[in-house]
Amino acid sequence: MARDYTLNRIPSASRSEINYARELNEQQFAAVTCPPGPSLVIAGAGSGKTRTLTHRVAYLLDNGIPQGNILLLTFTNKAAREMLERVEALINSDTKEIWGGTFHSVGNRILRRHASSLGWTSNYSIMDREDQKDVLKTVIGESDIDTKATRFPKPEVLADIFSLSQNTGQSVSDLVETRYPYFDHLADTISKLQEAYEEKKKEINSMDFDDLLVKALFLFHEHPEIREMYQRQFEWVLVDEYQDTNQIQAELIALLAAPQNNLMVVGDDAQSIYSWRGADFRNILEFQDTYENARKFVIETNYRSVPGILTLANAAIASNTEQIKKDLAPYRAGAGVLPALAEVQSPNEQAAFVAQRILELRDEGIELNEMAVLYRAHYHSMEIQMELTNRGIPFQITSGLRFFEQAHIKDAAAFMKITCNRKDEVAFKRIVNMLPGVGAKSADSLWQQWLQSPGADREAKSMFSDYMLDFKVPAKAKPGYEQLVYTLDELIDEEFQPRRPAEMMPSIMGGVYEDYLQSKFSNWENRKQDLQQLQKYSENFTKLDEFLSQLSLLAGQDAAGATQEEPDSEAVCLSTVHQAKGLEWKVVFLVWLADGMFPNNRVLDEDSEDESGLEEERRLFYVALTRAMDELYLTYPLVWHGAFNGDVLQTPSRFLSEFPTDLVEEWRIGMAW
């Protein structure tokens, strides 16, 4: 019979001088000093989540827990570095033995030690997105898939499908049916391709980013002795932003924390906004059901915002039925100014209001980098970018490329450019490169054929189809090539002159380009909305050359600003709400608060009995409100030109009707001209 024998822990050689009761508020102190076992810390916006987590690590060290027995999991390397640096400052010692880092970095560290158990070698390569795309191109080339018969998803879209499948546990077939229905007829083919991709990765001793989690989990399931070794090592597990975990991450946490379950997860269910990339909201909601006898701590004192903003935020999230109830309480004294609600006539007037108010606030002493304009989707920023550019107000984009630098905007412009300048080689090649089977060599061949035809003459009086239909075209490209040529025909009038730019956009989208968007980009619907905004902007121009010149000038100003601007120079931040999570500014403008925009149409079109999408949109709205420290401006335009469906009368966002009107100050916007 085996005998149990317990090793006593050696007391810590040195203890920090932290007075936890003095440095923490009552709610934080209770969480930091809680006894062993599972614990859920719900840390509301601006309530000192990082402070709580770092003091918990320091508290464990002060109580004799060896650094090597602590695992701290985060979602970004920046967060991991910041937390460990703060712990070092607290304990006045290094933290090099703590296992701290992102889920993926910890997964990689484990796999490097045990790769041979899975059939890889420890020097496996980690593929970035470009590497992954190249491997998928190879796999497609080696398969018996007939990509000529139909427009097949591009490697980057396949990578998104495979990643989402891995992180949600859904089969590729189910995922295609629910999220990529336009590829439903290819579901079986895509599933087979995923199998071939998995075999290829092992063959070339490479892993993609998702493998660092999936393979680590597989390792623990297949090799209990390895799992048990890490379970003994990681006596204490702490997890940041638990509301953002997916199924794979939650299972990894559960395996590593077992059997003692000295697990502390910190997060805020009201800020769970990433279901579209696989995050599972139920992980945090059901934590106490998953872990028996788990303690719950709710930290509600907000150190960021004035009371008026917090009162509005509390009211805004109250309509959600699936939530852990909390009531943010202000630490800051004084009521502050009420959030402003401004109804404007049009998107251009909205942009003018934001820009003018930014200049007024700067004159009042608030620096530009202390202000932000937030929106639900990137295309909502187009008019604001143009207005800030025209007024010389510097801005930085955290939600992606500036509007006129984006690939799909340049694609649409390329169609227009070739009708205006039939010698534009760059535009011509950009268009034909959209076709499957057309690479650099075949694009150059088509260009040479075009140059040798009378249609390429600057003063040619001909349709594009008069000559281009006779060109020698790669077999794979033929199905789409004819449609592309006829699309170009639609862009010129009976006099063989370019049509007005606003008239061109429906033809561009109705031709080959929408199919190209769907196969090339996983967020093609957002990009289509960008193009709708571009059409609205184009209505200000009757001549195509003037419109294209303005696009080039705006893109040039964007590029010049990007190269000349110092990283820390004063500039307004423009960001989607998703990108703004975790950040804060003295002044926040939240724009486009209209139904169909925020919340977005996709959610409003869902089954009315399923409120999960709408509740996530409301959480996103809550995140936006709680980014503001001192002043908050809420705006929406009454009329939006939907480009492909004419002027649309906007309905104010339903979120604006879910709180009492006395929580905001109505601003009536008038024009001085």
List, by residue number, the catalytic residues. Answer: 49-50, 240-241, 271, 627
DSSP calls for 123-189 = TPEEP-HHHHHHHHHHHHHHS---TTSS-PPPHHHHHHHHHHHHHH---HHHHHHHH-GGGGGGHHH
> Token digits for 153?
């998803």
> Token digits for 570?
């004063």
As a whole number of angstroms, the distance between CA 547 and CA 544 comes to 5
> Token digits for 647?
């002027």
> Taking Cα atoms as reference points, which of 195, 255, 215 lies closest to residue 115?
215
Tokens 């139904």 map to which residue? Answer: 595
As a whole number of angstroms, the distance between CA 192 and CA 671 comes to 60
Tokens 């550019």 map to which residue? Answer: 389
Tokens 């614990």 map to which residue? Answer: 39
> Token digits for 171?
């089969």
Q: Would you say 618 and 655 are in contact if contact means Cβ atoms under 8 Å apart?
A: yes
As a whole number of angstroms, the distance between CA 295 and CA 264 comes to 9
Number of Cβ within 10 Å of residue 606's Cβ equals 13
Contacts of 445 (CB under 8 A, 6+ apart): 472
Q: In degrees rounded to 5, what are phi and psi of residue 383?
A: -65, -35
Q: Would you say 309 and 659 are in contact if contact means Cβ atoms under 8 Å apart?
A: no
> Taking Cα atoms as reference points, which of 637, 608, 603 lies closest to residue 620?
603
Contacts of 308 (CB under 8 A, 6+ apart): 335, 336, 337, 338, 339, 663
Q: How far is CA 326 from CA 20, 42, 78, 141, 434, in A?
A: 24, 9, 28, 54, 51
The DSSP letter of residue 494 is T
Q: Would you say 588 and 340 are in contact if contact means Cβ atoms under 8 Å apart?
A: no
Q: Which residues, listed in sequence order, are joined to residue 636 by a DSSP beta bridge?
A: 343
Determine if residue 653 is left, alpha or beta; phi over 0 gives left, psi from -120 to 50 gives alpha, anything else beta. beta
> Coil, strand or helix: which one is 246?
coil
Q: Would you say 99 and 68 are in contact if contact means Cβ atoms under 8 Å apart?
A: yes
Tokens 């491997």 map to which residue? Answer: 135
Q: How many CA atoms lie within 13 A of 340 on its CB side?
A: 20
Determine if residue 400 is left, alpha or beta; phi over 0 gives left, psi from -120 to 50 gives alpha, anything else beta. left
